[in-house]
């Protein structure tokens, strides 16, 4: 790809020695690039294999991938055995060994781009507006009661948080919850100002806004696409910054980015293998078959841009591996102590409200539910895609994709005739690797206009 879009950079890459060649085995940056080529590249094919045995780890406990089949209200159906954890652990350690090559390889590649293309930090750059809803509960603390959510939210092994201009505004899940707003903007839906208010106050007595997901009424209204009017099935989730009254279009930075940033600043997480420091996250992977123990440090970067979103991915893979070692050690202790119960009876209440916050791969995932008469009366999930891919809202605030590519400098060497738009693609792909299928480039009169349409934006996705 680089050869097609930036022949000058490709020339340089072939001559540039990779600083961490001893760790990953690729002598030059050009060799890394060749290794990443779809299907023909050996690193590409290796990552396919790695993605398989790590999914095997998932299937050991969840039965299938992508949709797990062992999650139930009250726990999981998985039967913990010595064999299960042996099968898991052996694959995990193979993965740790792979990460010791994967992280330095990506560091070399990304650092090279900054060197080879001065100013590349501007590609996909936007204001630092990050949301992370937290991951990996601590079973010693978490009781899933809304009234104690602030506390158990902060005990998660990925800290929830909102980061604005590099400052951690909150780590409180109740605060995060109450300030979510769903705006209409340019989406194909009717408003619900006059619709039913399902939840007036939360269990702590706080007022719940009519535009909060608990109170959302979805009325889809398909209509002709009009880029000046309504043009997207994606809603406009925003987070109200009470300090300023701004409805912030938070992004997830592709997930890993916001997770690392919030966790680093919060300075709470310490699992041994993974530790937050206040300005970084330190990850230690123990000795594996062919490589000694290795410590990586993800440092808070200067920018929220395409390259740093991508870099965060590889570091978070190492983070997840370190966390998994910690968790499997806990699990083995439980198993060996004979504590193997994985599920407790759950009865659906007659009347209740509920919410859930977690991280999907690409970032924030929330659920809001209202139960009446033992049935679902209202339910709204907000996965990362509506946050990242939202159109302009009713205040005219653009969503993160639009924001990040507006004014992005173009480094591609191709002219309009064979323009690929690689810099714009990298910007969008940094939020969501699956999305560029839905990015179309239109060139007209020297002006580049970009629109996003994607199968991901079906009505069922909220």
Based on the shown chain and the rule CB under 8 A, indicate whether residue 222 belongs to the binding site for another protein: yes
- Count CA atoms closer than 13 A to 249's CA, side-chain side: 26
Report if residue 51 touches another protein, rule: CB under 8 A. Answer: yes
Beta bridge partners of 99: none
Which one of 295, 336, 340, 406 is in contact with another protein (CB under 8 A)? 340
Q: Does 39 bind another protein (CB under 8 A)?
A: yes
- For another protein, the closer of residues 352 and 459 by Cβ is 459
Judged by CB under 8 A, does residue 345 bind another protein?
Answer: yes
440 binding another protein? (CB under 8 A): yes
User: Does residue 410 bind another protein (CB under 8 A)?
Assistant: no
First to last CA, the chain: 34
Spell out a b/e string for 98-110, using b for 16 or more CB atoms within 10 Å of the CB, else e: bbbbbbbbbbbbb
Beta carbon of residue 440, minimum distance to another protein (angstroms, whole number): 5
Coil vs helix vs strand at 296: strand
State the nearest-atom distance from the C-beta of 23 to another protein, in Å: 26
- The secondary structure of 246-269 as a DSSP string is EEE--B-TTTHHHHHHHHHHHT--
Q: Are 400 and 431 in contact (CB under 8 A)?
A: yes
Residue pair 9/117 in contact (Cβ under 8 Å)? The answer is: yes
Does the protein bind another protein through residue 339 (CB under 8 A)? no
How does strand 439-444 pair with strand 375-382?
A: unpaired
414 binds another protein (CB under 8 A): no
Q: Shortest approach of another protein to residue 328 CB, angstroms?
A: 16
DSSP string, 133-198: --B---TTT----GGGHHHHHHTSSB--EEEETTEEEE--HHHHHHTEEEE-TTBSB---TTS--S
- Given the complex with another protein, which of 223 and 279 has the nearer CB atom? 223
434 contacts another protein (rule: CB under 8 A): yes
Among 114, 144, 343, 395, indicate the residue that binds another protein (CB under 8 A): 343
> What residues pair up with 284 in beta bridges, in sequence order?
295
Q: Cβ neighbours of residue 394 under 8 Å, at least 6 residues apart?
A: 183, 184, 185, 236
* 195 lies in the binding site for another protein (CB under 8 A): no
Show the site string, 75-94: x = touches another protein by CB under 8 A, - = not: xxxxxx------x-------
Q: Does residue 69 belong to the site contacting another protein (CB under 8 A)?
A: yes
Stretches 177-185, 249-257, 326-334, 339-347: which one binds another protein (CB under 8 A)? Answer: 339-347
The residue (of 293 and 443) whose beta carbon lies closer to another protein is: 443
Q: Which residues bind another protein (CB under 8 A)?
A: 1, 38-39, 45, 48, 51-53, 55-56, 58-70, 72, 74-80, 87, 188, 220-225, 340-343, 345, 420-421, 425, 434, 436-441, 453, 455-456, 458-461
């Amino acid at each position: 790809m680089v050869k097609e879009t930036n022949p000058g950079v490709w020339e340089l890459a072939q001559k540039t020695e990779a600083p961490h060649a001893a760790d990953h085995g690729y002598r030059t940056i050009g060799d890394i690039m060749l290794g990443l080529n779809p299907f023909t590249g050996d690193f590409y094919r290796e990552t396919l294999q790695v993605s398989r045995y790590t999914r095997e780890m998932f299937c050991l406990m969840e039965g299938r991938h992508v949709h797990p089949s062992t999650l139930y209200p009250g726990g999981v159906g998985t039967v913990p055995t010595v064999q299960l954890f042996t099968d898991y652990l052996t694959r995990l350690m193979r993965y740790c060994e792979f990460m010791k090559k994967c992280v330095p390889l990506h560091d070399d590649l990304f650092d090279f781009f900054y060197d080879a293309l001065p100013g590349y930090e501007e590609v996909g750059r936007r204001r630092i507006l990050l949301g992370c809803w937290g991951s990996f509960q601590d079973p010693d603390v978490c009781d899933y009661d809304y009234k104690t959510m602030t506390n158990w939210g902060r005990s998660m092994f990925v800290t929830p948080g909102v980061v604005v201009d590099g400052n951690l505004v909150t780590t409180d899940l109740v605060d995060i919850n109450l300030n979510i707003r769903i705006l209409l903007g340019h989406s194909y839906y009717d408003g619900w100002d006059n619709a039913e208010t399902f939840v007036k106050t939360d269990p702590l007595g706080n007022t719940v806004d009519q535009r909060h997901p608990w109170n959302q009424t979805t009325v889809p209204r398909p209509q002709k696409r009009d880029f000046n009017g309504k043009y997207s099935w994606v809603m406009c989730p925003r987070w109200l910054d009470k300090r300023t009254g701004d409805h912030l279009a938070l992004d997830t930075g592709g997930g890993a980015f916001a997770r690392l940033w919030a966790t680093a600043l919060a300075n709470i997480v310490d699992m041994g293998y993974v530790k937050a420091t206040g300005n970084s996250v330190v990850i230690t992977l123990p000795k594996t078959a062919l490589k000694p123990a290795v410590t990586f440090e993800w440092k808070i970067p200067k920018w929220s841009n395409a390259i740093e979103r991508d870099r965060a991915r590889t570091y978070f893979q190492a983070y997840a591996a370190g966390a998994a070692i910690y968790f499997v050690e806990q699990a083995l202790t439980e198993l060996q102590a004979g504590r193997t119960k994985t599920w407790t009876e759950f009865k659906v209440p007659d009347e209740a409200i509920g919410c859930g916050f977690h991280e999907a791969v690409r970032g924030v995932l929330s659920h809001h539910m209202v139960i009446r008469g033992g049935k679902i009366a209202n339910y709204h999930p907000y996965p990362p895609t509506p946050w990242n891919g939202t159109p302009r809202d009713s205040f005219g605030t653009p969503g993160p994709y639009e924001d990040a590519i507006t004014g992005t400098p173009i480094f591609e060497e191709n002219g309009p005739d064979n323009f690929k738009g690689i810099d714009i693609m990298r910007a969008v792909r940094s939020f969501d690797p699956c999305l560029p299928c839905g990015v179309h480039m239109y060139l007209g009169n020297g002006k580049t206009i970009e629109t996003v349409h994607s199968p991901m934006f079906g009505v069922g996705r909220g």
